[in-house]
Chain A
Amino acid sequence: MSDDKAVFAEGVVKKFGDVVALDGMDLTVERGQVVGLLGPNGAGKTTMVRILSTLLTPTAGTARVSGFDVVTQPDEVRRAIGLTGQYAAVDEYLTGRENLRMFGDLYHLEPKYVKRRSQELLDSFDLSEAADRSVRTYSGGMRRRLDLASSLIARPSILFLDEPTTGLDPRSRLGMWAVIEGLVAEGTTVLLTTQYLEEADQLAQDIVVIDHGRVIAHGTAEALKDQIGGDRIEVTVVNIGQAGAAADVLRTVSTGEPAIEEGRVSAPVSGGSTVLVNAIRALDVAGIEVSDLLLRRPTLDDVFMSLTGHAAEEETPVVAKRGRRGRQS
Chain B
Amino acid sequence: MTTVAPVRSRPIVGWAVHDGIVVARRNLIQSIRVPESLFFSLVQPVIFVLLFAYVFGGAIPIPGDGANAEEAANAYRNYLMPGIFGQTVAFAAAASTVGIAEDMRKGLIDRFRALPMAHGAVLIGRTFADAARQILVLAVLSITGFIIGWRITGGLLNAIYAYLLLLLFAYTVSWVGSTIGLAMPNPETASTAGLAWLFPVTFLSNAFVPISSMPDWLQAFAAFNPVSTLVLATRELFGNPTGIQPDYWPLQHPIPYTVMACALIIAVFATLSVRKFSRTTSK
Interface residues of A (CB under 8 A from B): 50, 53-56, 75, 78-79, 81, 83, 85-94, 98, 102-103, 105-111, 113, 117, 134, 150-151, 153-155, 157, 186-188, 323-326
Contacts and interface: CB of A to CB of B under 8 A. Distances in A.
B29 A78 contact: no
Given A55-B281, A113-B6, 11 more contacts: A75-B116, A83-B111, A87-B106, A88-B107, A92-B106, A93-B34, A108-B7, A110-B7, A155-B3, A155-B5, A187-B2
Contacts of A94: 26, 29-30, 33
B114 A55 contact: yes
Contacts of A109: 5-8
A93 B110 CA distance: 18
Contacts of A86: 107
Contacts of B29: 93-94, 98
Contacts of A106: 19, 22-23, 112, 115, 117, 121
B113 interface: yes
Contacts of B18: 105, 108
Contacts of B2: 187
A55 B104 CA distance: 13
A85 B109 CA distance: 11
Nearest to B22: A105
Contacts of A98: 26, 29
Interface of B: 1-8, 15, 18-19, 22-23, 25-26, 29-30, 33-34, 106-108, 110-117, 121, 185, 281-283
Contacts of B34: 93
A157 B19 CA distance: 23
List 6 tightest A-B contacts by C-beta distance, closest first: A87-B107, A89-B107, A89-B111, A78-B116, A83-B114, A106-B117
Contacts of B281: 50, 55-56, 325-326
A239 B19 CA distance: 73
A87 B114 contact: no
Contacts of A83: 110-111, 114
A153 B111 contact: no
Given A92-B106, A155-B4, A326 B282 contact: yes
Contact of B106 (A54, A55, A89, A324): A89
A55 B110 contact: yes
A106 B1 CA distance: 21
A312 B15 CA distance: 45
A87 B113 CA distance: 15
B1 A155 contact: yes
Nearest to B4: A155
A85 B15 contact: no
Nearest to B112: A106
Given A85-B282, A324-B283, A325-B281, A108 B8 contact: yes
Nearest to B10: A108
Contacts of B23: 102, 106
B54 to A, nearest CB: 37
A117 B6 CA distance: 11
A325 to B, nearest CB: 7
A14 B4 CA distance: 33
Contact of B110 (A85, A102, A186): A85
A92 B105 CA distance: 13
B108 A89 contact: yes
B1 A187 contact: yes
Nearest to B26: A102
Contact of A108 (B4, B113, B116): B116
A79 B115 CA distance: 7
Contacts of A113: 5-6
A91 B31 CA distance: 13
6 contacts: A55-B110, A93-B29, A94-B30, A98-B26, A110-B6, A155-B3
Contacts of B3: 155
A12 B8 CA distance: 35
A110 B108 contact: no
Q: Which of A85, A105, A113 has the most CB of B within 10 A?
A: A105
A194 to B, nearest CB: 18
A150 B111 contact: yes
Contacts of A79: 116
B183 to A, nearest CB: 10
A87 B282 contact: yes
